[in-house]
Amino acid sequence: MSAAALEWILAEALRRKSARIGRPAAAPDDDRPLEGRALAAIFEKNSTRTRLSFDLAMRQLGGAPIILNAADLQLGRGEPIEDTARVLSHYVDAVAIRALRHESLTRFASAASIPTINGLTDHTHPCQIMADLLTLTECFGALDGLKLAWIGDFNNVARSLLEAAGILKLTLTLACPEEYGPEPRDLAKARGAGGRIEIFHDTAAAATGADAVFTDVWVSMGDSDSDRRRTVFPPFQVNENLMAIAATRAIFLHCLPAMRGEEVSAVVIDGPQSRVWQEAENRIHAQKAILLWCFGAGPA
Ligand code: CP
Ligand code: NVA
């Protein structure tokens, strides 16, 4: 995605969010830009926020959401994903997929003739990061000049944050255990795009002076090495000691669901610097702009 497209999505999300203050959750926006359009959202893994936000986003845009568990489809009995993609391309106008394996998403997208949205894979979670960028914009007025810090596992959410830092030329420091850090090619891609990226294995080095501290669970959906992870990650907890060395104005972000006492202390996630509930709400507003962009609005 281009910087112009990403910036348009953030601006459109903010504009629509402020235009519907006080409106009931499923009441459509005045212009109902997706009236008559249908989105199918398919989930191979659990979801609360992504499922609800795609559903509400479509209703608020005047369209129809169809939310499906992959296990209930013939896909769950072995129907090829390409055949599912071809059939759905005749039924609906766009698809969002939460896939166990990233390859399933790309195979679906290759066979589909309609827009296919990544609703999280083991590789990336771009819709989450768009909601996070929206939250940062609301909290600080602009993204330029912010120092962002990612603490913990270099997982799907972290990879999307790194990709966004490249596209928007943001300053991002990561503190990850060596065995759960980014690949050189991940760093090279973001740096090559213009991101100011640093990587440490020490949380204090990354968090010092940060305006926003991000983390996520130590064990993501589909990770099979949970015992190993629970021995490696404890020094990477975001707690009040770590937040104390971030900037005075620093905020804490987490995509949720969170494990209090593991990657984040209850004091931090439930404390005054936490913006996680605003961040979760912003999934709806970001999703709406993402959907509009997929239907042709905004720059390419
Ligand atoms: N943050 C996020 O994607 O949450 P869900 O897994 O509940 O969708
Ligand atoms: N990294 C987490 C994000 C959940 C929204 C996972 O993939 O389980």
- Do 99 and 202 belong to one domain? no
Is residue 30 one of the residues assigned to a domain? yes
Question: Does residue 53's CB lie within 6 angstroms of at least one atom of ligand 1?
Answer: no
- Do 141 and 266 belong to one domain? yes
Divide the 300 residues of the chain into consecutive groups of 10 and give the mean pLDDT of each group.
Answer: 97 98 97 98 98 98 98 95 98 98 98 98 98 98 97 98 98 98 97 98 97 98 98 98 98 98 98 98 98 98
- Do 118 and 194 belong to one domain? no
**Count of structural domains, the chain:** 2
- Do 143 and 274 belong to one domain? yes
- Do 98 and 147 belong to one domain? no
Q: DSSP character for 123? A: S
Q: Is 175 helix (H, G, I), strand (E, B) or coil?
A: strand
Catalytic residue among 16, 49, 59, 98: 98
Tell the residue nearest (CA) to atom 7 of ligand 2. 220
- Do 255 and 202 belong to one domain? yes
Is residue 160 one of the residues assigned to a domain? yes
Is 283 noted as a catalytic residue in this protein? yes
Is residue 31 one of the residues assigned to a domain? yes
- Do 137 and 151 belong to one domain? yes
Tell the residue nearest (CA) to atom 7 of ligand 1. 48
Question: Does residue 255's CB lie within 6 angstroms of at least one atom of ligand 1?
Answer: yes
Compute the C-alpha angle 187/228/129, nearest 5°: 40
Residue in the block written with tokens 């969010």: 17
The pLDDT score that the predictor gives to residue 93 is 98
Which residue from 51, 52, 120 has its CB within 8 A of the most atoms of ligand 1, so it is best to mutate? 120
Is residue 27 one of the residues assigned to a domain? yes
> How far is the CA of 5 from the CAs of 28, 113, 168, in angstroms?
24, 21, 11
Catalytic residue among 16, 49, 59, 125: 125
Domain limits at 86?
3-125+283-294
- Do 152 and 9 belong to one domain? no
Q: Is 131 left (phi over 0), alpha (psi -120 to 50) or beta?
A: alpha
Burial of 236 (0-12, 13-18, 19+ CB in 10 A): buried
The pLDDT score that the predictor gives to residue 196 is 98
- Do 114 and 134 belong to one domain? no
State residue 65 phi and psi, 5-degree precision.
Answer: -90, 145
Bridge partner list, 68: 42
C-alpha 294/C-alpha 290 separation (Å) is 6
- Do 91 and 164 belong to one domain? no
How many A from CA of 49 to the centre of ligand 1?
A: 4
Tell the residue nearest (CA) to atom 3 of ligand 2. 220
Over the stretch 120-165, which tens digit does the pLDDT of each residue have? 999 999 999 999 999 999 999 999 999 999 999 999 999 999 999 9
Is residue 299 one of the residues assigned to a domain? no
Is residue 300 one of the residues assigned to a domain? no
How many A from CA of 218 to the centre of ligand 1?
A: 15
Is residue 191 one of the residues assigned to a domain? yes
- Do 109 and 167 belong to one domain? no
pTM above 0.95, yes or no: yes
How many A from CA of 256 to the centre of ligand 1?
A: 6
Is residue 188 one of the residues assigned to a domain? yes
Copy the structure tokens of residue 245: 């060395």
CATH number at residue 208: 3.40.50.1370
**In 3-state terms, the chain is what percent helix, strand and coil (to 5)?**
45, 15, 35
- Do 43 and 95 belong to one domain? yes
Question: Does residue 47's CB lie within 6 angstroms of at least one atom of ligand 1?
Answer: yes
